[in-house]
């Protein structure tokens, strides 16, 4: 038996308000159409759903049973519709981002602040990963985006969108302040303790190749899990390291660490957005991508 499901929507309002007239007003219809629809529903179900009298209408026992089910279904549908409308209007939703420490400080912080001010109802889930970990999280569907630093091995169908180029500088703590007053070579720098990320990172590979291109072997004295861990190690005079300018600007201004004047130019790096082209983005994710991509390499 195929019942016109619009009849159930009409039945819900008639039964809820015990009035054909009120249901007609809510549904922007006329009373004869509402009455005809309910007569058809009773005919198709083979039972009476309403008892009509001069005092109005009441539900029959069969009508009560049907209303118990219809009310649950209709109210769930209404709640789902409201949730979708709220999400598409950016009044709610969830945005998940996997990022490296350098990407977080180099671009994400300011963009997240602007996005959160504009859409405070959207929940933000930020996970701190190395670049390979962030890319893996994206491939596995754990995050909506990965925002990482180059070099990065981005397999298809993932898409890398460059956002901002940046430079790193050699820095040291107060113990190495004397080195900041003159130019030093990469070879001379290796005479001092060197701090770098672990061998399982793209940053380690980048600088290993950089040292090799100058006929040197990079052998860090201290290995850190993230760029955020290198800074406090340098502050406490445990060695010299390479950090992005946006990481070190304030501590340099406070005299906590010092730039070293390295003769060789360090490689230029980039912060990139990585997304999965197979996966449709939510409204919140699409809007954040728009906000994020307003920053381009021209802003560097």
Winning range, highest mean pLDDT, from 65-79, 189-203, 208-222: 208-222
> pLDDT band at 188, cuts 50/70/90?
very high
- pLDDT-derived band at 258 (thresholds 50, 70, 90) equals very high
Q: Which of 86-100, 106-120, 150-164, 240-254 has the least mean pLDDT?
A: 86-100
Confidence of residue 298 (pLDDT cuts 50, 70, 90): very low
**Is the predicted pLDDT of residue 35 greater than 60, yes or no?**
yes
pLDDT bucket at 71, cuts 50 / 70 / 90: confident
pLDDT given at position 79: 67
Instruction: Identify the burial level of 233 via C-beta atoms within 10 angstroms of its C-beta, where 0-12 means exposed, 13-18 middle and 19 or more buried.
Output: middle
% of residues, the chain, pLDDT over 90:
44
- Per the CB < 8 A criterion, the answer to whether 245 and 102 are in contact is no
Rounded mean pLDDT of 46-53? 88
CA-wise closest residue to 217 among 185, 183, 193, 190 = 190
pLDDT of residue 82: 58
Q: Where are the alpha helices (DSSP H) in 140-256?
A: 186-189, 202-213, 227-235, 245-253
Q: What is the mean pLDDT of the chain?
A: 87
Residue 246 in tokens: 């946006």
Express each pLDDT in 222-250 by its tens digit.
999 888 889 999 999 999 999 998 889 89
User: How many CB atoms are closer than 10 A to CB 255?
Assistant: 9
The region of weakest confidence among 10-14, 217-221, 257-261, 279-283 is 279-283
Q: What is the pLDDT of residue 87?
A: 52
Which of the four pLDDT bands, split at 50, 70 and 90, describes residue 88?
low
Answer with the residue of higher pLDDT: 2 or 42.
42
Percent of residues, the chain, with pLDDT higher than 70: 92
Helix, strand, coil distribution of the chain in percent, nearest 5: 50, 20, 30
Which pLDDT tens digit goes with each residue over 16-25?
888 898 889 8
Residues 164-170: what's their mean pLDDT?
92
The per-residue pLDDT for 17 is 87
Q: What is the pLDDT confidence band of residue 300, given thresholds at 50, 70 and 90?
A: very low
User: Which is nearest to 189 in space by CA: 244, 267, 255, 263?
Assistant: 263
Length, in residues, of the chain? 300
For the residues 276-281, what does the mean pLDDT come to?
A: 87
Run of H or E residues at 98: strand 94-99
């Amino acid at each position: 038996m195929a019942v016109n499901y619009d009849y159930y929507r009409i039945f819900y309002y008639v039964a809820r308000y015990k009035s054909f007239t009120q249901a007609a007003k809510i549904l922007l219809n006329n009373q004869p159409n509402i009455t005809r629809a309910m007569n058809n529903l009773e005919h198709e179900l083979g039972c009476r759903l309403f008892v009509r009298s001069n005092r109005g209408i009441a539900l029959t026992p069969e009508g009560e049973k049907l209303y118990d089910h219809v009310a649950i279904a209709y109210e769930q549908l209404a709640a789902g519709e409201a949730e979708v409308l709220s999400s598409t209007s950016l009044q709610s939703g969830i945005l998940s981002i996997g990022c490296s420490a350098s990407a977080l400080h180099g671009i994400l912080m300011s963009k997240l602040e602007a996005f959160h001010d504009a859409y405070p109802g959207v929940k933000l889930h930020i996970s701190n990963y190395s670049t390979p970990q962030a890319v893996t999280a994206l491939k596995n569907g754990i995050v909506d985006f990965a925002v990482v630093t180059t070099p990065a091995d981005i397999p298809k169908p993932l898409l890398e969108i460059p956002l901002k180029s940046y430079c790193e500088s050699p820095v040291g703590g107060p113990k190495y302040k004397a080195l900041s007053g003159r130019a030093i070579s990469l070879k001379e720098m290796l005479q001092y303790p060197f701090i770098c990320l672990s061998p399982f990172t793209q940053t380690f590979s980048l600088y290993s190749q950089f040292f090799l291109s100058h006929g040197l072997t990079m052998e860090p004295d201290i290995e850190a899990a993230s760029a955020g861990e290198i800074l406090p190690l340098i502050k406490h005079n445990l060695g010299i390291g390479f950090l992005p300018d946006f990481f070190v600007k304030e501590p340099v201004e406070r005299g906590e660490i010092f730039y070293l004047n390295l003769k060789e130019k360090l490689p230029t790096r980039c912060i990139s957005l990585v997304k999965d082209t197979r996966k449709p983005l939510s409204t919140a994710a699409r809007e954040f991508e728009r906000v994020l991509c307003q920053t381009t390499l021209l802003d560097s």
